[in-house]
């Protein structure tokens, strides 16, 4: 019986828009944004800030050096938020419903301080609620020091939450991420980026 549901953020709760993110980074001066950005697991300084090996200010300084002129924290936030394509209301309604039905909801996301400064604010859903208001617990790569699909991320969550993988469902649009979770005995569901998973999820909860 499934008791716990682990949710990815980008591609599941929010729709990812890789092309918009590339445009935003180009607008602030990163000419080779296509080569530097990835929809699932970042590398270079983008991976470093999502792994937590550098902080938001160090990322801003390093990005400024790459671009060749100073960029502000606001510009960094603008660029990172380019990944946010849409926040479907149906997803938020489903999260509320699943919690009311007794499931423990846990966020498991590769992300960074810039994205979370928006998501964890009252601006997140347009109704004064932050992302954390929809979850029982949140685990972000930059705070955990590890990124999906590394199995250590999932083991960290399982250990901290004291949950049984056989009673846990993980939802992510990334193939390598769900494969890594499955290797630990976690049940998985991989909807396409932006797909409506709100009814199909019940197939995996039975």
pLDDT in tens, 53-68: 999 999 999 999 999 9
pLDDT of residue 173: 96
pLDDT of residue 43: 86
Average pLDDT, the chain: 96
Query: DSSP assignment of 137-156, as one string?
Result: EEEEHHHHT--TT-HHHHHH
For residues 48 and 206, the model is more confident at 48
Say which of 8, 17, 172, 173 is annotated catalytic.
Answer: 8
Give the number of C-alpha atoms closer than 13 A to the C-alpha of residue 99, restricted to the C-beta side.
15
pLDDT of residue 42: 87
Compute the CA torsion angle 159, 164, 168, 172 (nearest 10 deg). Answer: 40
Tokens of 122: 């009252």
Alpha carbons 137 and 27: distance in angstroms, whole number: 35
DSSP state for residue 191 in the 8-state scheme: P
pLDDT of residue 41: 77
pLDDT of residue 201: 98
Alpha carbons 66 and 73: distance in angstroms, whole number: 15
Tell whether the model's pLDDT for residue 206 goes beyond 90: no
pLDDT of residue 104: 98
Alpha carbons 80 and 83: distance in angstroms, whole number: 6
Active site residue 48: no
Tell whether the model's pLDDT for residue 89 goes beyond 90: yes
Name all domains of the chain by residue range, CATH numbers in brackets. Answer: 4-16+87-205 (3.40.50.1000), 18-83 (1.10.150.240)
Alpha carbons 49 and 30: distance in angstroms, whole number: 17
| Stated pTM of the model | 0.94
pLDDT of residue 98: 98
Tokens of 168: 């846990």
pLDDT of residue 122: 96
pLDDT in tens, 172-203: 999 999 999 999 999 999 999 999 999 999 99
pLDDT band at 20 (very low <50, low <70, confident <90, very high): very high
pLDDT in tens, 35-53: 999 877 788 999 999 999 9
pLDDT of residue 105: 98
Mean pLDDT to the nearest integer, 99-123: 97
Burial of 55 (0-12, 13-18, 19+ CB in 10 A): middle
Tokens of 132: 């954390």
Burial of 170 (0-12, 13-18, 19+ CB in 10 A): buried
C-beta of residue 140 within 8 angstroms of C-beta of residue 109: yes
Mean pLDDT to the nearest integer, 82-99: 97
């Amino acid at each position: 019986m499934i008791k716990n549901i682990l949710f990815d953020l980008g591609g599941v709760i929010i729709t990812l828009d890789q092309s918009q993110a590339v445009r935003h980074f180009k607008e602030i001066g990163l000419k080779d944004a296509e080569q530097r950005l990835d929809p699932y697991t970042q590398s270079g300084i983008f991976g470093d800030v999502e792994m937590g090996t550098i902080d938001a200010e160090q990322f801003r300084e390093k990005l400024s050096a790459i671009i060749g002129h100073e960029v502000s924290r606001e510009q960094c936030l603008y660029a990172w938020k380019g990944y946010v394509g849409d926040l479907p209301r149906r997803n938020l309604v489903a999260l509320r419903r699943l919690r009311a039905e007794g499931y423990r909801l846990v966020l498991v996301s590769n992300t960074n301080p810039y994205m979370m400064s928006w998501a964890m604010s009252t601006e997140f859903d347009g109704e004064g609620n932050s992302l954390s208001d929809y979850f029982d617990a949140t685990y972000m790569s930059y705070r955990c020091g590890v990124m999906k699909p590394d199995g250590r991320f999932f083991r960290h969550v399982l250990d901290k939450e004291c949950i049984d993988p056989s009673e846990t469902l993980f939802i992510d649009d990334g193939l390598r991420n769900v494969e890594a979770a499955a290797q630990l005995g976690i049940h998985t569901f991989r909807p396409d980026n932006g797909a409506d998973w709100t009814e199909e999820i019940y197939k995996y909860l039975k």
